[in-house]
Amino acid sequence: MSCCGKGRAEHHATHPSRPSPRIETPPSRRELQSSSYFEYTGESAMNVIGPVTGKLYRFDAPGIQVAVDLRDRGSIMAIPHLKRVG
């Protein structure tokens, strides 16, 4: 015969809890009003996910310019074939 606690422990072992949602800090007024533009200089399309915001930045073809959130700017600057413009 098993006790209630053992049944609970077995339930948690077979049904892991869901990860808690990521809590993001709301952007400041300055961050909402400002962005940096980057131009793609590669040969085909490229997708980049901003490491801070999680936003998808899509560069469809060479010469395309995309607005990038200031919070992602530092990391995006380190990616080959993307140059800051404007």
What's the chain's average pLDDT?
Answer: 79
Is the model's pLDDT at 57 over the cut of 80?
A: yes
Q: How far is CA 14 from CA 60, 61, 70, in A?
A: 44, 47, 42
Nearest to 64 by CA among 47, 77, 49, 51: 47
24 pLDDT tier (thresholds 50, 70, 90): very low
Strand 35-40 vs strand 56-59: parallel, antiparallel, or unpaired?
Answer: unpaired
Q: Check if the beta carbon of residue 8 is closer than 8 Å to that of residue 45.
A: no
86 pLDDT tier (thresholds 50, 70, 90): confident
Cβ of 64: how many Cβ atoms within 10 Å? 15
**pLDDT at res. 4:** 56
Alpha-carbon distance of 5 to 69, in angstroms, equals 49
